[in-house]
Amino acid sequence: AQKITQTQPGMFVQEKEAVTLDCTYDTSDQSYGLFWYKQPSSGEMIFLIYQGSYDEQNATEGRYSLNFQKARKSANLVISASQLGDSAMYFCAMSSDSNYQLIWGAGTKLIIKP
């Protein structure tokens, strides 16, 4: 069965520091995609970044990058130079050729301290 695990229920980080949010996944598919979404306290779900399993380079979008380690089945989100506005819930999700419905992790609550 496919599964996404986010082991950090919550994190406190000092403003301007880099943050790594962990995500491990389990799938027997060879072809799959990994997503990160941000959910601020206002509630909306905001797409951040996508990584395909066959992408040779780690995905980057501005201050967000995805540390993709295929052999370890991990897809950690890295936020460089954190800002107060980064405080939010962050969700990791996966889809694959055999199941393109998104499978979601339980989320990590990130709080940036001034």
Positions in the binding site for another protein (CB under 8 A):
31-33, 35, 37, 43-47, 50, 52, 91, 93, 95-97, 100-102, 104-107
Which residue shows structure tokens 């370890």?
72
Q: How far apart are the first and last CA of the chain?
A: 41
Residue 3 vs 16, nearer CB to another protein = 3
What are the tokens at 37?
A: 């979404």
DSSP state of 109: E
Residue 15 vs 52, nearer CB to another protein = 52
Closest approach of Cβ 10 to another protein, in Å?
Answer: 12
Closest by alpha carbon to 61, among 73, 46, 50, 45? Answer: 50
Closest approach of Cβ 17 to another protein, in Å?
Answer: 26
What are the tokens at 59?
A: 């995905």
Closest approach of Cβ 37 to another protein, in Å?
Answer: 8
